[in-house]
């Protein structure tokens, strides 16, 4: 029987919590300071959107939660490492993250760099070894998906482009698709891999791409509309860093319209699932209505 969105969200939170405890709190530890910085960067009350998407997609196609745990955990580790590094002075120079000091502020720059550096191999090790009934081939496919989405053809390239100045709206959209979209598409692919499901993959990738871009545009709006207390991270960062955003290219109203269009596109992409679309449809409405 299929669980409700709320039930999958609660399951996601509690399973992630257990996985993080299992893999981040090993003893004896080689460097206690490094371990603390890693844990600080990961267990920080984030929205856990990417692992949730892994679980939702996998559950939609009847994967067991055991077979999704490694993928859900590691995609969040990769996302967490990227936030730790993005906040560094040489990057976005952000002092706040989710209402707390960013990792390099709570520790120091060297430890923040190393915490991010440590999360990457840990993620791939977990995909390789975490107990489940996944075949060796499924594990390798998951490693490929996560690696490809996070490196020089995905998230890291997006962050590199973000360090430059987008000259056109197309540049900006390309950057967003790499920086945020690649990992959300990977979440869908990982959920499908856990379920050994190929049918509807292209539609769900389209769904994830639209949600990813919409999410980034929502961030652009939030960055100018909210106070730091409301969204829990340094705001006005884009303006302070002289960064172009979707809003600075087309204004607030056209950004809102584009977000609506993207969500409509995402909704449309789910149609092929028939009755199976329910969970992902609810997820979509939740993201659509987010205000932080």
**Footprint of a second copy on this chain (CB under 8 A)?**
26, 29-31, 33-35, 38, 81-82, 85, 88, 90-91, 108-111, 113-114, 116-118, 120-122, 124-125, 127-129, 135-137, 139-141, 143-144, 146-148, 150-154, 156-161, 163-164, 178
Taking the least distance from each CB to a second copy, the nearer of 96 and 122 is: 122
| Minimum gap (Å) between residue 166 Cβ and a second copy | 12
Instruction: Using the minimum distance from each CB to a second copy, give the nearer residue, 137 or 253.
Output: 137
Please identify, using beta-carbon distances, which residue of 13 and 108 lies nearer to a second copy.
108
**DSSP string across the chain:** -PPPHHHHHHHHHHHHHHHHHHHHS-SS-S-HHHHHHHHHHHSS----HHHHHHHHHHHHTT--HHHHHHHHHHHHHHHHHHHHHHTSTTTT--SEETTEE-HHHHS-HHHHHHHHHHHHHHHHHHHHHS-SS--HHHHHHHHHHHHHHHSTTTHHHHHHHHHS---SHHHHHHHHIIIIIHHHHHHHHHHHHHTT--TTHHHHHHHHHHHHHHHHHHHHHHHHHS-HHHHSS--SHHHHTT---HHHHH-HHHHHHHHHHHHHHHHHHHGGGGGGGHHHHHHHHHHHT---
Cβ proximity to a second copy: between 110 and 202 the closer is: 110
Cβ closest to a second copy, residue 54 vs residue 284: 54
How near is the Cβ of 170 to a second copy at its closest, in Å? Answer: 14
Closer to a second copy by CB, 117 or 281: give it.
117
Q: What CA–CA distance (Å, rounded) separates 86 from 78? A: 12
Give the shortest CB-59-to-a second copy separation in angstroms. 25
Q: How far is the CB of 99 from a second copy (least distance, A)?
A: 24
Decide: 216 and 176 in contact? Cβ < 8 Å: yes
Q: How far is the CB of 89 from a second copy (least distance, A)?
A: 8
Q: How far is the CB of 74 from a second copy (least distance, A)?
A: 11
Shortest reach from residue 102's CB to a second copy, in Å: 14
Measured from the CB atom, the residue of 141 and 208 that comes closer to a second copy is 141
């Amino acid at each position: 029987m299929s669980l409700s969105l709320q039930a999958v969200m609660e399951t996601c939170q509690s399973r992630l919590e257990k996985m993080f405890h299992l893999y981040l709190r090993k003893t004896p530890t080689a460097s206690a300071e490094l371990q603390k910085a890693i844990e600080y960067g990961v267990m920080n009350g984030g929205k856990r959107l990417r692992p949730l998407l892994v679980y939702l997609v996998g559950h939609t196609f009847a994967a067991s939660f055991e077979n999704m745990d490694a993928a859900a955990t590691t995609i969040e580790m990769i996302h967490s490492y990227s936030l730790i590094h993005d906040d560094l002075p040489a990057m976005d120079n952000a002092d706040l993250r989710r209402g707390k000091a960013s990792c390099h502020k709570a520790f120091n720059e060297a430890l923040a760099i190393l915490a991010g550096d440590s999360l990457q191999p840990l993620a791939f090790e977990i995909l390789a070894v975490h107990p489940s009934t996944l075949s060796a081939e499924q594990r390798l496919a998951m490693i490929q998906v996560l690696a490809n989405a996070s490196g020089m053809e995905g998230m890291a390239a997006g962050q590199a482009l973000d360090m430059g100045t987008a000259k056109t709206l197309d540049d900006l959209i390309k950057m967003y698709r790499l920086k945020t979209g690649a990992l959300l598409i990977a979440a869908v692919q990982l959920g499908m891999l856990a379920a050994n499901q190929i049918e509807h993959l292209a539609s769900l990738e389209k769904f994830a791409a639209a949600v990813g871009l919409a999410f980034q545009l929502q961030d652009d709006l939030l960055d100018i509309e909210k106070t730091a207390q409301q969204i829990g991270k340094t705001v006005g960062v884009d303006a302070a860093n002289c960064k172009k955003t979707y809003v600075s290219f087309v204004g607030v109203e056209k950004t809102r319209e584009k977000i609506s269009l993207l969500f409509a596109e995402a909704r449309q992409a789910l149609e092929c699932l028939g009755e199976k679309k329910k969970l992902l449809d609810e997820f979509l409405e939740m993201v659509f209505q987010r205000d932080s």
